Amino acid sequence: MPETKKMKIAVFEDNQKFRESLEFIIVTSNDMELCGSFEDTTRLQQKIEALQPDVVLMDINIPGKNGIDAVKEIKENFPNIHVCMQTVFDDADKIFASLCNGASGYILKNTPPEKILQAIREVAEGGSFFTPSVAKKVLHNFQQQPQGEYVQLTEKEKEVLKLLVDGLSYKMIADKVNVSFHTIHTHLRNIYQKLHVNSKGEAINKAMKNKLV
């Protein structure tokens, strides 16, 4: 039976004690390989190019290019490489800056070893992993964002609405989709009901606001 290929992990961490603890849990796991470990981010692109890791563990406050900028550079040049941030900070601004720059996970340095391994495995598979306190902040931020209204339109209704947004008259829409004016009128009545609007202008505005077309 062929041996399962191990995940290649690269570590960027300036705290020697913590870096060595990360190295230990990685090399003692049966499905991971430590392909590189560094105390700074100098020549970051060359290192990543040479190592081709599956997952990068990236400290935020690290000498050279800071971790938030480093994850951006990695994702811009190596989009298939996953990055998990690890830090003592759970500040909301650092969390969201990291996520916006492409990080797939965010764990605190007091995270137990088994959870760090779980985080690595999950981001390696294309998922995400957050320390509970970080996950709570992410969820809270999402809940505070204004969400577009959910509207369920049929494919034909979407087609009609798009033509309406494009500026076509009801008669032009009927000709375009090759149905009768009466049928278009029925579609539009259903669309207006679902959008909770009473005019063409309101329908167009809501369609654009909620990105329905």
Phi and psi at 107, nearest 5°, equal -120, 150
Other C-beta atoms lying within 10 Å of the C-beta of residue 35: 20
Answer whether 0.85 is exceeded by the pTM. Answer: no
At 29-41, the pLDDT tens digits run: 999 999 999 999 9
Output the pLDDT for position 148. Answer: 55
Output the pLDDT for position 1. Answer: 43
SS3 content of the chain, % helix, strand, coil (to 5): 50, 15, 35
Q: What is the CA radius of gyration of the chain?
A: 25
Output the pLDDT for position 143. Answer: 65
Residues of the chain where predicted confidence (pLDDT) is lower than 50: 1
Output the pLDDT for position 32. Answer: 96
Helix (H) or strand (E) holding 65: none
At 155-180, the pLDDT tens digits run: 899 999 999 888 888 889 999 999 99
Which domains does the chain show, CATH number per domain? 7-144 (3.40.50.2300), 155-209 (1.10.10.10)
Q: Given its phi and psi angles, is residue 145 left (phi above 0), alpha (psi -120 to 50 degrees) or beta?
A: beta
Output the pLDDT for position 167. Answer: 85
| Residue 203 contacts residue 191 (beta carbons within 8 Å) | yes
